[in-house]
Amino acid sequence: MTTTTTPPADRVDRVDVSAKPRRVRTGSVIGSTGLYLATGIAAILFLIPFYLIVRNAFMTDPEITGEEWKWFPTDIQWGNISEPFDDPSVDFARSLWNSAVVGVLHTVGTLLVCSLAGYGLARIPYKHANKVFYAVLGTLMVPTAVTFVPSFVLVSSLGWIDTYRGLIIPGLFSGFTCFLFRQYFLGFPKELEEAARVDGLGYMGAYWRVVVPNSLNFFAAMATITFISGWNSFLWPLVIGQDPSAWTVQIALSNYTTGQTVNFHLIFMATAISILPLVFVFLFLQRWLVQGIAQTGIKG
Amino acid sequence: MSTITKDGVSSPAPALASPAKPRRGLRGSPTFNFWLFTGPFLIGLAIFVYLPILWSLYLSFFEARFTVTPSEFIGLDNYVTMLTDEDFIGSLGTFTVFAALIVPLTWATSLGLALMVNRLRFMRAFFRSVFFLPTAVSYVAASLIWKMSIFNGVRFGLANTFLGIFGIDNTAWLASPDPPWYWLLIVTVRLWLQAGFYMILFIAALQNIPQEMYEAASIDGAKPGWQTFWHITLPQLRATSTAVILLLLVAAYQGFDEFFNLLNKTTWGRPPLVELYYKALGESQDYGAGSAGALILTVLICLVTLLQGKIMGFGRGEESK
């Protein structure tokens, strides 16, 4: 599927979505005040949930549930930070660790496997490459979410329930990521590889020494997108993590709601901690993320 | 998603010019290298994508409760069971309502945000980041905020506190299917999480509209504002809009996380995936019927995807070029 959002590949690394557009001047003072007012109100609405997480995470429960609505905690409860980790009912530290392991390995694995395949499909001349490509395209038709029942059946027969293998490996083979890499490599300048081949490098050598180092921007974009979706995924970890020791942080969060006592500040502190790594990833890699989305025009 | 080549998806990559120093033997052969590059991925695809689909096709013709190696062949019974199952048919109805609400709303919101951000002169990057930030939040975390803080059914929830100012009694947002207040939560939570992502797509598309068109329009006497938006911006965004709507539709089809976490264990407001989850992995562990249901959903989504391929061409030409 196509959108017209894409600049040619050779320019893509320099797309800056925040660049000032050329536009016809409509500049009346009233118009621009109204515009900023509308944007400001929308921004406040979008930030309310973030504000609530932080507010509730640093309050005491009586303050949260009190008669009077309080905008800020009377005393910032720094002690709340350690509470999710001391909670006997959910091993929160373990779940964070599981999420970190799964997130990193999922990202590294997906990028490795899918980028190699994408390159092979885009660049290596082979009689039946098209047939292979259609076999990959066919899987785009079937969203992974819909096939979780048979996938669960398969993974449980392999004995991978409650293992990292079960959490990570089935998700590595994303037809979609492979497709995006193929599209990217189709636009990669041939001259570079040809020079490498003349110097006597094979396909693999040229790939690792020339193609990958020159594609780091695209890899960074794909890594960011893949990590975020891995960290936030819910359905598959829910199916695989039967035992609490195999829970990811999303499953742990989900379980707080079914606990016996509702402990508001603990739940919101845990939520805040679970979002924190992504906010960091987001702040540092936003440029690539925006570029990646603008370029690929899909994922989510 | 878009092609970044002129040749489009269906044409094979042209062969490389033969290298100056051809490597001898297997390691230099293109065919060997092709399989070396694609092999690991294709093996994984066969095992973890194709095999499960085939296996569930097999399971769907058997009586398979609590076992994945069934022996009793029952033909199409599982399909009949699912297609006459009120809950399953009802879940398709739930999806229809959900899609009818979320798709146009997200489309309009993300387009509106893109138009606003695109016209700003100062603090552009800041506002873009604000709208984009929820993209990093998980459905589970967002559901918790919605359920326990914003739309908490008791007095101290934000929405009830706000409505209380106007003397409106507390509303129990999630307590009952009638009135269906839960849709307000389901729709707004996804709207908040998704809108920024699609806004980025629209901003990129807006910046691709040639400036000359606006200049030509103003020479023709079109007033900036609604007129240019209606006659230039909107038609120019057609390809992006189509893509966004289809993406939203496929994403809505897979709605699971927010329903599961907002409505846990209720018998109402279940979309297809939640229904399947309880059917196949719940008390009954009916893998046969579950597989049949999964295949019915897969066929439905294939139809949607094919339709989408028809409308847009799979990564093929860009309509507006």
- Mind listing the pLDDT tens digit for each residue in A163-182? 888 889 988 898 888 988 88
Neighbour tally for A241: CB within 10 Å: 22
- Report the residue of B10, B37, B119 to disrupt the A interface, i.e. the one with the largest count of A CBs within 10 Å: B37
Looking at chain A from residue 86 to 105, which residues have their Cβ under 8 Å from any Cβ of chain B?
Answer: none
Chain-chain contact of A194 with B264 (C-beta, under 8 angstroms):
no
Q: How confident is the model at residue A139 (pLDDT cuts 50, 70, 90)?
A: confident
Helix (H) or strand (E) holding B178, with range, is none
Q: Among the listed ranges A101-110, B57-66, B170-179, which one has the minimum average pLDDT value?
A: B170-179
Which among B33, B128, B156 is the nearest to A65, CB-wise?
B156
* Mean pLDDT computed over every residue of chain A: 79
pLDDT for res B3: 39
Taking the CA of residue B149 as centre, how many other CA atoms within 13 Å lie in the half-sphere pointing to its CB?
Answer: 29
Give how far A8 is from chain B: nearest CA, Å: 6
Residue tagged 């093929």 (tokens): B316
**Quick check: B217 pLDDT over 50?**
yes
pLDDT for res A115: 92
**Quick check: B105 pLDDT over 90?**
yes
Taking the CA of residue A109 as centre, how many other CA atoms within 13 Å lie in the half-sphere pointing to its CB?
Answer: 20
Q: What percent of chain A has pLDDT over 90?
A: 8
Looking at chain B from residue 172 to 211, which residues have their Cβ under 8 Å from any Cβ of chain A?
Answer: 192, 194, 196-197, 200-201, 203-208, 211
**Quick check: B133 pLDDT over 80?**
yes
- Report the residue of B47, B162, B188, B207 to disrupt the A interface, i.e. the one with the largest count of A CBs within 10 Å: B207
CA-CA-CA-CA dihedral for B102, B108, B111, B114, to nearest 10: -90
Chain-chain contact of B4 with A295 (C-beta, under 8 angstroms):
yes
The highest-confidence range among A24-38, A116-130, A146-160, by mean pLDDT, is A116-130
What is the pLDDT averaged over residues B16-37?
68
pLDDT for res B193: 92
DSSP string, A2-20: --TTPPPHHHHTT--TTSP
Backbone angles phi, psi at B61, to 5 degrees: -100, 5
pLDDT for res A299: 37
**Quick check: B19 pLDDT over 60?**
no
Beta bridge partners, B63, equal B72
Q: In chain B, at which residue ranges do the beta strands (DSSP E only) sit? A: 62-63, 72-73
In angstroms, rounded to a whole number, what is the distance separating the alpha carbons of residues A114 and B94? 35
Kindly state the DSSP code that residue B62 receives in the 8-state scheme: E
Which among A156, A173, A231 is the nearest to B44, CB-wise?
A173
Q: How confident is the model at residue A85 (pLDDT cuts 50, 70, 90)?
A: confident
Q: Is A150:B59 a contact under the CB 8 Å cutoff?
A: yes
**Quick check: B9 pLDDT over 70?**
no
Chain-chain contact of B33 with A50 (C-beta, under 8 angstroms):
no
Q: Which residues of A264-294 are buried (b: 16+ CB within 10 A; e: fewer)?
A: bbbbbbbbbbbbebbeebbeebbbbbbbbbb
Q: Does A288 touch chain B if contact means CB atoms closer than 8 Å? A: no
**Quick check: B212 pLDDT over 60?**
yes
**Quick check: B41 pLDDT over 80?**
yes
Which among B140, B197, B276 is the nearest to A254, CB-wise?
B140
**Quick check: A229 pLDDT over 50?**
yes
How far is it between the farthest Cα atoms of chain A? 77
Chain-chain contact of A154 with B132 (C-beta, under 8 angstroms):
no
pLDDT for res A27: 52
pLDDT for res A84: 74
What is the pLDDT averaged over residues A242-256?
86
pLDDT digits (tens, 9 = 90+) for A187-201: 888 888 888 888 888
Q: What percent of chain B has pLDDT over 90?
A: 7
pLDDT digits (tens, 9 = 90+) for B227-245: 778 877 888 888 788 878 8
Looking at chain A from residue 181 to 240, which residues have their Cβ under 8 Å from any Cβ of chain B?
Answer: 183-184, 186-187, 190, 193-194, 197-198, 200, 202-204, 207, 228, 231-232, 234-235, 238-239
**Quick check: A258 pLDDT over 50?**
yes
Chain-chain contact of B294 with A197 (C-beta, under 8 angstroms):
no
**Quick check: A205 pLDDT over 80?**
yes
Which among B207, B247, B291 is the nearest to A21, CB-wise?
B207
**Quick check: B176 pLDDT over 80?**
no
Helix (H, G, I), strand (E, B) or coil at A120: helix
Q: Does A258 touch chain B if contact means CB atoms closer than 8 Å? A: yes
| Two structure tokens written together for B245 | 């709507």
**Quick check: B18 pLDDT over 70?**
no
Q: How many helices (H) and strands (E) does chain A have?
A: 15, 0
Residue of chain A whose Cα is closest to the Cα of B58: A150
**Quick check: B23 pLDDT over 70?**
no
Chain-chain contact of A20 with B121 (C-beta, under 8 angstroms):
yes
pLDDT for res B25: 65
**Quick check: B113 pLDDT over 70?**
yes
The highest-confidence range among A147-151, A248-252, B203-207, by mean pLDDT, is A248-252
| Two structure tokens written together for A120 | 């092979």
In angstroms, rounded to a whole number, what is the distance separating the alpha carbons of residues B96 and B102? 10
In angstroms, rounded to a whole number, what is the distance separating the alpha carbons of residues B46 and B59? 18
Chain-chain contact of B16 with A190 (C-beta, under 8 angstroms):
yes
Q: Higher model confidence: residue A144 or residue A236?
A: A236
pLDDT for res B68: 63
Q: Does A24 touch chain B if contact means CB atoms closer than 8 Å? A: yes
In chain B, what residues touch A42 (CB-CB under 8 Å)? 113, 116, 131
pLDDT for res B311: 65
**Quick check: A212 pLDDT over 60?**
yes
pLDDT for res B43: 93
CA-CA-CA-CA dihedral for B280, B282, B285, B286, to nearest 10: -40
Q: Higher model confidence: residue A45 or residue B78?
A: A45
In angstroms, rounded to a whole number, what is the distance separating the alpha carbons of residues B60 and B249? 26
**Quick check: A103 pLDDT over 70?**
yes
Q: Does A29 touch chain B if contact means CB atoms closer than 8 Å? A: no
What is the pLDDT averaged over residues A31-37?
83
Q: How confident is the model at residue B321 (pLDDT cuts 50, 70, 90)?
A: very low
What is the pLDDT averaged over residues B133-141?
88
**Quick check: B205 pLDDT over 70?**
yes
Q: Does B92 touch chain A if contact means CB atoms closer than 8 Å? A: no
- Report the residue of B11, B41, B209, B258 to disrupt the A interface, i.e. the one with the largest count of A CBs within 10 Å: B41
* Mean pLDDT computed over every residue of chain B: 77
What is the pLDDT averaged over residues A261-285?
83
pLDDT for res A102: 92
Which among A32, A132, A264 is the nearest to B42, CB-wise?
A132
Q: Does A136 touch chain B if contact means CB atoms closer than 8 Å? A: yes
**Quick check: B1 pLDDT over 50?**
no
Backbone angles phi, psi at B72, to 5 degrees: -95, 110
Helix (H, G, I), strand (E, B) or coil at B111: helix
pLDDT digits (tens, 9 = 90+) for B47-69: 988 888 888 888 778 776 766 66
CB pairs under 8 A between A and B: 408
Give how far B13 is from chain A: nearest CA, Å: 6
In chain B, what residues touch A140 (CB-CB under 8 Å)? 305
Chain-chain contact of A117 with B40 (C-beta, under 8 angstroms):
yes
| Two structure tokens written together for A139 | 């899987």
User: Cis before residue A21, ω within 30 degrees of 0?
Assistant: no
